[in-house]
Amino acid sequence: MRALIQRVSRASVTVNQQTISAIGKGLLILLGVGHGDDETQAQFLAEKIANLRIFEDENGKTNLSVLDVQGQALVVSQFTLYADARKGRRPSFIDAALPHVAEPLVTRFAELLNAQGVPTQTGQFGAHMHVEIHNDGPVTIWLEK
């Protein structure tokens, strides 16, 4: 399971010109599910992300987590995180889990993150989404389990 985490001042997801999810200060998490991933990886990443200290304290040091700043999370399924572009010019996505495997794990990850105390919204699995990101910093972190 791979997560690309962006610290945001706000973020939203639009499908068919309708906003389906929006958050203020917090984290936008692009989440990819690979072959062999299960709830173990989802649990690890949810706990790690909830407690990841990437927000600034009163001294400008990155000492606070999304929990500490009472932020939110927006989770967007992103199978392209498993792209392999080493050969040719067209990426291969064979390392990404099939939708019937990935969708429940993305949903479960969002539930687990919410259970950690982070109010969590999601994009729409399998839809063509427009994701608006106001990256704060910018701060972007790659995690893999």
User: Catalytic pick from 55, 79, 116, 122?
Assistant: 79
Q: Which residue among 6, 78, 116, 121 is the active-site one?
A: 78
Q: Assess whether 78 carries a catalytic annotation.
A: yes
- How many whole angstroms separate alpha carbon 95 and alpha carbon 72? 30
Q: Any catalytic annotation for residue 125?
A: no
Dihedral angle, C-alpha 23, 113, 20, 27, nearest 10 ° = 30
Q: What are phi and psi of 136, to 5 degrees?
A: -100, 110
CA 43 to chain centre: 13
What separation in angstroms does the CA of 85 have from each of 16, 17, 94, 96, 98? 30, 31, 11, 13, 19
Looking at 19, 40, 70, 80, which residue is catalytic?
Answer: 80
Whether 79 is a known active-site residue: answer yes
Q: How far apart are CA 26 and CA 65, in angstroms?
A: 9
Residues recognised as catalytic: 78-80
